Structure 1
């Protein structure tokens, strides 16, 4: 159920993969595809957005180029270092925070603000607004000064305000 093929990944790497590397690359593609479905949604392989394929290939090729997740390596005194940015993901197939956000957006899950209608406690909800209704008719609308359609606001039977 990989969103990209092994041939696609081979095209992004600048060396010929041996037998062990081919096995690791296939597993990396599966892992990246599983994570793409987790951060985004489970798309059908043939109808997934192209960007999902791109992100899967990017994560898998990042892993294949640097399976240990090193950010620094020295031959003398054998110094190795990892970057805190990757954190616990160093040495694994992972998506960066921006890539995770992009997958969520591709899946239609956009974080942000939304408006939610609220009413005061004990409000007597009347019939909803009807287009074309005029005046405080008990239908949940109040008149407007400019002569247009009434404004949908829960009115009072004694006073329009």
Structure 2
């Protein structure tokens, strides 16, 4: 399953791919599509948002242009350098943080904050307090369930 075709990827590259590069490009498209599904959601190929295809093509073409993840290369003294910015992803198909955020939003995975009520085992609300205990610094009451012996 790939969200983009090999012909679409070839259209983004400025050279003609040989047989080995075609095989690598097909693998890059599959890897990028798998990552897109894991960061976003597993869309059916026919109904995937257009931006998913764009991001898959962008990650695949980035990999095809620089498969080893070099950030610096010199011909004179054979100097090569890798960046720590992408860490373990250097030399692989990867999405940037912004691309991951976009995929998550497209997949309906927006980061949210939620709260859950928590109570001690077999605790009950004390009569008259409604489960509220005093807070020393402000005089307000804080919801906390306790036993009959004390507020804590």
For Structure 1 versus Structure 2, the TM-score category normalised by the shorter chain is 0.7 to 0.9
Deviation at 1:112, TM superposition (A): 2.8
Equivalences for 1:10-159 in 2 at 5 Å? 10-114=10-114
Query: May I ask how many residue pairs the two structures share in their alignment?
Result: 123
Task: Specify which structure has the bigger relative contact order, considering alpha-carbon pairs within 8 angstroms and separated by 6 or more residues.
Answer: 2
- Runs of 4+ in structure 1 deviating by more than 4 angstroms, as ranges, are 114-118
RMSD: 1.8
TM-score w.r.t. the length of structure 2 is 0.75
Distance in structure 1 (CA, Å) of the matches to 2:115 and 2:49 = 29
Deviation at 1:86, TM superposition (A): 1.2
Alignment partner, residue 6 of structure 2: 6
Per-residue CA distance 1:59-86 (angstroms, 9 max, x = gap): 0000000001000000111110011111
More displaced stretch, 107-116 vs 76-85: 107-116
Deviation at 1:55, TM superposition (A): 0.5
SS at match of 2:77: helix
Deviation at 1:114, TM superposition (A): 4.6
Distance in structure 2 (CA, Å) of the matches to 1:110 and 1:70 = 33
Distance in structure 1 (CA, Å) of the matches to 2:114 and 2:54 = 30
TM-score w.r.t. the length of structure 1 is 0.71
SS at match of 1:77: coil
Distance in structure 2 (CA, Å) of the matches to 1:116 and 1:107 = 24
Q: Give structure 1 stretches of 5+ with no counterpart.
A: 124-161
SS at match of 1:78: coil
Distance in structure 2 (CA, Å) of the matches to 1:78 and 1:46 = 46
Distance in structure 1 (CA, Å) of the matches to 2:105 and 2:116 = 21
SS at match of 1:81: strand
Alignment partner, residue 144 of structure 2: none
